């Protein structure tokens, strides 16, 4: 056996691992490093959204459930007598659609409220009487081991038609017994794992004889992507050999890759007669992946205006800011409270999302003014240094003597007054701070050289 054959066989057996190694104890160290970097206390959701807001969401959720339940009951079983208080119906009894809508509802509400910086704008105060009840619902939703309704992967599964409900505990995905462990499979068969399931289902196999109402070609009409998109004309690999394919890209394989925006077409033909069996057209829009960059973490004074820029622009992008409801790449923040704020940005493009965040620290930037200076050249207190004034450029300073004569004045004080050519003694200062409120501070300053 030659060396290349050996390689090929090893590859087929799928036992070539990755060559990468890590330093000793790396994964423990990793955990520590992450913890060290999250030095600011983690803001739990409960802090971000206050209790009263939770109640509001809960109220909204309750109304959502109520409406959905009523609507669906009405739509699906118009003959069945309505239940007066449907909130008592256990969730497990709803059918799949119901439950899905219910979940989406919660998400929508959560999204809505986050858009507005934690302030819900929906006028739902009148539902406050439902609060207690709905809080319980909220708990039910977030319970980790809630039973959920398993969605059947296969539409042909008759159990779904009968509204039969399969309950299962949530299982960590990798341990999901529903899928066989693929580790030991032959390399060539792996790709077919999901397909094998379909073949063994007798109803699915019936699909090979094309039913009138089912389209053979399974590509979308209009799609958008952030990277070249590979399309497969017919999903099921088992059918590929029965047809020949012709893409407007020139490919004659069952699949093609779209590299640039445009309108493309595919025809599925009879391999012997070349007659077109079915054809489809797709409009493809290639949008670059957003690369939001909010820059380094920064410190600001509470009077400063914060300008944030996603630095990634495209008319197809959507911008979701945690601190603003503006769907725009640039926002302006004012009047943030003192302390740390984590600003999150999610830029969406064609269903793909890229996150970026930035921490800003808001400082009160208080200034402190000394009451004595000793301009004797020893390097200590030689100048009248107002610490913090650099945060307020354009602040005016006046120095007066006991008689009220102005001895020194400047429109932009630079911490440089040292009582030059003035005798020791007490002077007065007036500081007009260039802040939002144009604060004025006055006091006395003693000059003492010895």
User: Judged by CB under 8 A, which stretch of 263-271, 338-346, 375-383, 419-427 contacts another protein?
Assistant: 338-346
116 in contact with another protein (CB under 8 A): no
Q: Which own/partner contact pairs does 199-207 have at CB distance under 8 Å and 24+ positions apart?
A: 199/238, 201/154, 201/156, 201/157, 203/156, 203/158, 204/154, 204/156, 207/236
- Smallest gap from Cβ 366 to another protein, in A, equals 29
Site string for another protein, 346-365 (x = CB under 8 A): x---xxxxxx-x--------
Q: Exactly one of 89, 154, 201, 232 binds another protein (CB under 8 A); which one?
A: 232
Of 291 and 424, the one with the shorter C-beta distance to another protein is 291
Place of tokens 């077109």: 276
User: Judged by CB under 8 A, which stretch of 127-135, 225-233, 299-307, 328-336 contacts another protein?
Assistant: 225-233
Place of tokens 């053979």: 216
CA 317 – CA 348 distance, rounded (Å): 5
CA 302 – CA 363 distance, rounded (Å): 6
25 in contact with another protein (CB under 8 A): no
196 in contact with another protein (CB under 8 A): no
Q: Exactly one of 20, 51, 307, 380 binds another protein (CB under 8 A); which one?
A: 20
- Smallest gap from Cβ 11 to another protein, in A, equals 6
Going by C-alpha positions, the residue among 185, 179, 127 that lies closest to residue 153 is: 179
172 in contact with another protein (CB under 8 A): yes
Contacts of 345 (CB under 8 A, 6+ apart): 292, 294, 308, 310, 319, 320, 321, 322, 355, 356, 357
Site string for another protein, 250-279 (x = CB under 8 A): ----xx------------------------
Q: Are 442 and 429 in contact (CB under 8 A)?
A: yes
Q: Exactly one of 60, 229, 323, 362 binds another protein (CB under 8 A); which one?
A: 229
177 in contact with another protein (CB under 8 A): no
Q: Exactly one of 77, 92, 194, 406 binds another protein (CB under 8 A); which one?
A: 194
Size of residue set near another protein by CB under 8 A: 82
Residue ranges in 251-298 assigned as alpha helix (H):
none
Of 147 and 381, the one with the shorter C-beta distance to another protein is 147
Of 193 and 265, the one with the shorter C-beta distance to another protein is 193
CA 192 – CA 154 distance, rounded (Å): 16
167 in contact with another protein (CB under 8 A): no
Q: Exactly one of 218, 387, 412, 414 binds another protein (CB under 8 A); which one?
A: 218
Q: Exactly one of 1, 25, 35, 80 binds another protein (CB under 8 A); which one?
A: 35
Residues 73-92 that bind another protein (CB under 8 A): none
Q: Are 102 and 62 in contact (CB under 8 A)?
A: no
Q: Exactly one of 1, 18, 275, 421 binds another protein (CB under 8 A); which one?
A: 18
Residues 123-162 that bind another protein (CB under 8 A): 142-146, 153
Of 261 and 357, the one with the shorter C-beta distance to another protein is 357
Give the C-alpha distances (Å, rounded to integers) separating 432 from 266, 331, 339, 399: 74, 30, 26, 12
User: Judged by CB under 8 A, which stretch of 39-47, 79-87, 126-134, 280-288 contacts another protein?
Assistant: 39-47
User: Judged by CB under 8 A, which stretch of 6-14, 198-206, 241-249, 296-304 contacts another protein?
Assistant: 6-14
Pairing of strands 306-309, 148-149: unpaired
Q: Are 360 and 336 in contact (CB under 8 A)?
A: yes
CA 306 – CA 32 distance, rounded (Å): 33
CA 140 – CA 134 distance, rounded (Å): 10
- Smallest gap from Cβ 203 to another protein, in A, equals 19
- Quote the tokens at residue 49: 């959204």
Q: Read out DSSP for 199-235?
A: HHSHHHHGGGS--TTS-S----SEEEESS-EEEESSS
């Amino acid at each position: 056996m030659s060396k290349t054959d050996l390689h090929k066989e090893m590859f087929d057996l799928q036992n070539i691992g990755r060559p990468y190694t890590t330093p000793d104890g790396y994964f423990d160290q990793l955990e520590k490093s992450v913890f060290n970097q999250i030095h600011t206390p983690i803001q739990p959701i409960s802090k971000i959204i206050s209790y009263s807001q939770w109640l509001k969401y809960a109220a909204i959720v309750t109304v959502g459930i109520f409406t959905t339940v009523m609507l669906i009951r009405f739509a699906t079983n118009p003959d069945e007598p309505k239940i007066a208080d449907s909130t008592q119906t256990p969730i497990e009894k709803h059918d799949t659609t119901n439950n899905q809508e219910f979940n989406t509802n919660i998400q929508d509400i959560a999204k809505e409220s986050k858009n507005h910086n934690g302030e819900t704008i929906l006028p739902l105060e009148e539902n406050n009487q439902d609060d207690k009840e709905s809080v319980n619902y909220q708990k039910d939703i977030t319970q980790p081991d809630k039973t959920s309704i398993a969605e059947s992967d296969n539409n042909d599964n008759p159990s779904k038609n009968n509204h039969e409900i399969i309950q299962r505990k949530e299982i960590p995905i990798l341990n999901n017994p529903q899928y066989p462990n693929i580790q030991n499979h032959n390399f060539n068969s792996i790709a077919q794992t999901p397909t094998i399931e379909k073949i063994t289902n007798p109803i699915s196999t019936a699909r090979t004889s094309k039913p009138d109402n089912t389209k053979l070609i399974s590509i979308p009409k209009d799609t958008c992507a952030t990277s070249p998109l590979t399309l497969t004309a017919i999903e099921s690999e088992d059918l590929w050999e029965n047809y020949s394919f012709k893409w407007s890209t020139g490919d004659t394989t069952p699949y093609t890759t779209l590299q640039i925006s445009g309108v493309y077409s595919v025809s599925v033909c009879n391999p012997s007669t070349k007659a077109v069996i079915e054809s489809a057209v797709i409009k493809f829009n290639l949008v670059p992946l957003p690369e939001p960059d909010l820059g380094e973490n920064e410190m600001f004074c509470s009077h400063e205006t914060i300008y944030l820029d996603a630095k990634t622009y495209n008319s197809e992008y959507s911008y979701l800011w945690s601190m603003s409801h503006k769907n725009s790449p640039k926002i302006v923040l004012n009047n943030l409270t003192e302390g740390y704020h984590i600003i999150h940005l999610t830029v969406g493009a064609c269903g793909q999302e890229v996150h970026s965040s930035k921490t800003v620290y808001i400082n009160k930037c208080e200034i402190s003014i000394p009451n004595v200076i000793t301009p004797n050249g020893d390097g200590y207190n030689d100048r009248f240094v107002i610490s913090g004034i650099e945060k307020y450029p354009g602040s005016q300073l006046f120095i007066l003597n006991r008689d009220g004569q102005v001895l020194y004045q400047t429109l932009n004080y630079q911490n440089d007054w040292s009582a030059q050519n003035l005798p020791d003694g007490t002077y007065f200062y007036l500081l007009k701070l260039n802040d939002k409120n144009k604060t004025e501070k006055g006091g006395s300053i003693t000059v003492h050289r010895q």
